[in-house]
């Protein structure tokens, strides 16, 4: 396999990229000058050196000094009574930039497919329990913020179950994001689940 094909294979592993677009990426790179390629190459090879995974929320962040905590987890003004559990880094980013939630985060690192035999391998279950144990004195609420689709629901039920006893023991409330009509919902087409939740949560 030649260099063009090998690099195409690598790009095909990128999320959402098929053979055709992978090849377009390679031809695009071929038209770039040497400096651009060197820079990209360097950024890729040093990505992990420049980046740490926060020992507290498990998101990736730029590691400037020796800190093992990201800027949010080490922010003294953060509301330590709340911990929001999200699936992945981009979920965290989307929520963070809204600026409406002042508490801590935890990145699960995945979701659990329906009928998965080894659910603990799909998410950071053990790490989540450790974090809760460590913060048990301050924590008052755990907010499960997962997408509303079958895998998200399955993950939510699973996480709820593994946290139940722990939450009771330390008197921590477990909540889930409210459900109802969201931007764009038209009542002519709304599904029964959504409407029922909206009716229940009316006010």
Within positions 22 to 81, which residues make up the interface with a copy of itself, using CB under 8 A? 23-30, 34, 37-48, 50-51, 53, 60-62
Q: How far apart are CA 39 and CA 113, in angstroms?
A: 38
CB 26 → a copy of itself: shortest distance, Å?
Answer: 7
Tell me the site size for a copy of itself, rule CB under 8 A: 86
Please check whether residue 94 is in contact with residue 131, taking contact to mean a CB–CB distance below 8 angstroms: no
CB 113 → a copy of itself: shortest distance, Å?
Answer: 16
Note whether 88 binds a copy of itself by CB under 8 A: yes
Looking at the Cβ atoms of 48 and 134, the one nearer to a copy of itself is 48
CB 86 → a copy of itself: shortest distance, Å?
Answer: 6
Sign of the four-CA dihedral 13, 14, 19, 24: negative
CB 72 → a copy of itself: shortest distance, Å?
Answer: 14
Looking at the Cβ atoms of 170 and 195, the one nearer to a copy of itself is 195
Please check whether residue 173 is in contact with residue 140, taking contact to mean a CB–CB distance below 8 angstroms: yes
Note whether 202 binds a copy of itself by CB under 8 A: yes
Restricting to residues 140-179, name those near a copy of itself by CB under 8 A. 143, 145-149, 175-179
Please check whether residue 158 is in contact with residue 112, taking contact to mean a CB–CB distance below 8 angstroms: yes
Among 66, 118, 171, 191, binds a copy of itself (CB under 8 A): 191
Q: How far apart are CA 156 and CA 143, in angstroms?
A: 10
Tell me the backbone φ, ψ of residue 10, rounded to 5 degrees: -65, -45
CB 41 → a copy of itself: shortest distance, Å?
Answer: 4
Q: How far apart are CA 56 and CA 177, in angstroms?
A: 22
Note whether 200 binds a copy of itself by CB under 8 A: yes
User: In which residue are the tokens 């093992």 written?
Assistant: 68
- List, in sequence order, every beta strand (DSSP E) within 65-122: 79-86, 103-107
Note whether 15 binds a copy of itself by CB under 8 A: yes
Note whether 199 binds a copy of itself by CB under 8 A: yes
Looking at the Cβ atoms of 36 and 134, the one nearer to a copy of itself is 36
Tell me the backbone φ, ψ of residue 202, rounded to 5 degrees: -70, 160
Of the chain, the end-to-end C-alpha distance in Å amounts to 63
């Amino acid at each position: 396999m030649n260099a063009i094909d090998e690099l195409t294979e690598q790009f095909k592993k990128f999320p959402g990229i098929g053979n055709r677009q992978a090849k377009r990426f390679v031809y695009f790179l071929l038209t770039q000058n040497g400096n651009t390629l060197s820079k990209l190459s360097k950024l890729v090879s040093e990505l992990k050196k420049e980046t740490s995974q926060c020992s507290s929320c498990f998101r990736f962040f730029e590691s400037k000094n020796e800190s093992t905590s990201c800027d949010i987890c080490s922010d003294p003004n953060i509301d330590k009574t709340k911990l929001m559990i999200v699936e992945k880094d981009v979920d965290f980013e989307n929520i963070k930039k809204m600026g409406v939630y002042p508490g801590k985060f935890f990145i699960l690192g995945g979701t659990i497919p329906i009928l998965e035999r080894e659910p603990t391998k799909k998410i950071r279950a053990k790490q989540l329990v450790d974090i809760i144990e460590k913060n048990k004195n301050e924590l008052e609420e755990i907010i499960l913020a997962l997408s509303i689709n079958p895998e998200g629901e399955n993950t939510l039920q699973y996480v709820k179950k593994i946290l139940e006893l722990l939450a009771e023991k330390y008197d921590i409330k477990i909540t889930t994001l409210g459900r109802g009509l969201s931007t764009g919902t038209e009542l002519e087409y709304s599904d029964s689940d959504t409407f029922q939740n909206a009716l229940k949560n009316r006010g």
